[in-house]
Amino acid sequence: MSGTKSSLLLEHYLKQLKLPTDLREYASMAVVCTSDRADYPTYLLRLAERELLDRERRAAERRVKAARFPVIKTLDSFDFKAQSSINQELVRELMRGEYLDRRENVLLIGNSGTGKTHLATALAFAACQQGRRVRFFTVTGLVTRLLEYREDRQLERFHKNLERVQLIVLDELGYVPCNKAGAELLFDVVSRTYERTSLIVTTNLPFEQWTEVMGSERLTGALLDRLTHHIHILEANGESYRLRQSKHRVKPQGAAFEAAAVTAKNSTDKTEEK
């Protein structure tokens, strides 16, 4: 068989076998292996390794896309010095993902701007890299969806899809109170995940105030019971990172800016008190 004909056939087979990296690199790898005097098994081994790595990378990209993070954040860009109240050791342990095998939950609790969503996203992003299926929701977004799905009789389908996920992020519990139907549907999600799917919940509310969001003491009690049975709690009680950053940026304006920052902080605190 002539060289061109065998190359054409080989390329056809590699396509059929869905080996895109081999297809792209078999010729250049042959040049490298010839110059390294590598034997045939080594050539095949190097190609197989490339194919596998690329396949894992593509799968991780698909999982990140399917998770629907609003913004991707990783631990590399998190400054622990700026938020010394966060238990760094626990964050690093959770990044390894063993809590997911044990179906444990994580609660991030603290004021606005203290990096809760950042850390929740970084943990969930790491889970995607480790081969886990993840889904990110803001609590309000999820409740709106649940109400819509119920209306369209699509709820069971939605729950079936969620069952395939190993980690669900529920971001911003407590910013907007749920109505009765919304609270029950939210409870249903938490209840179905119990000991089956891990949850990461972020909130600005201490437990005592959860009843205000859920609207019912009975439901809040049952939700907390399930959520907190196997839980890791990360507390952030420092200053807002955003506020701190803007203070640094606008420093020359001195007193006027300080006054604005104090007003902003007070209004954030008030929002959180609600």
Phi, psi of 70 (to 5 degrees): -65, -45
Which two structure tokens, joined as six digits, stand for 44?
């095949």
In the bound complex, which residue of the shown chain has the CB atom lying closest to ligand ADP? 115
Comparing CA positions, the residue from 272, 106, 119, 132 lying closest to residue 205 is: 272
Strands 105-110 and 231-236: parallel
Q: Which is nearer to ligand ADP, 72 or 181 (CB)?
A: 72
Choose which of 63, 116, 132, 226 interacts with ligand ADP (CB under 6 A). Answer: 116
Q: Is 117 in the site for ligand ADP (CB under 6 A)?
A: yes
Tell me the window of 65-73, 110-118, 155-163, 215-223 that interacts with Mg ion (CB under 5 A): 110-118
| Residue 115 interacts with, from ligand ADP, Mg ion, none (CB under 5-8 Å by kind) | ligand ADP
Q: Please check whether residue 181 is in contact with residue 148, taking contact to mean a CB–CB distance below 8 angstroms.
A: no
Q: Which is nearer to ligand ADP, 160 or 270 (CB)?
A: 270
Which residue matches tokens 């899809």?
A: 161
Choose which of 28, 40, 79, 196 interacts with ligand ADP (CB under 6 A). Answer: 79
- Shortest approach of Mg ion to residue 257 CB, angstroms? 24
Comparing CA positions, the residue from 267, 272, 242 lying closest to residue 82 is: 242
Q: DSSP code of 202?
A: E
Q: Is 138 in the site for Mg ion (CB under 5 A)?
A: no
Q: Please check whether residue 140 is in contact with residue 176, taking contact to mean a CB–CB distance below 8 angstroms.
A: yes
Q: Is 137 in the site for ligand ADP (CB under 6 A)?
A: no
Choose which of 118, 132, 135, 226 interacts with ligand ADP (CB under 6 A). Answer: 118
- Shortest approach of Mg ion to residue 61 CB, angstroms? 24
Q: Please check whether residue 167 is in contact with residue 200, taking contact to mean a CB–CB distance below 8 angstroms.
A: yes
| Residue 99 interacts with, from Mg ion, ligand ADP, none (CB under 5-8 Å by kind) | none
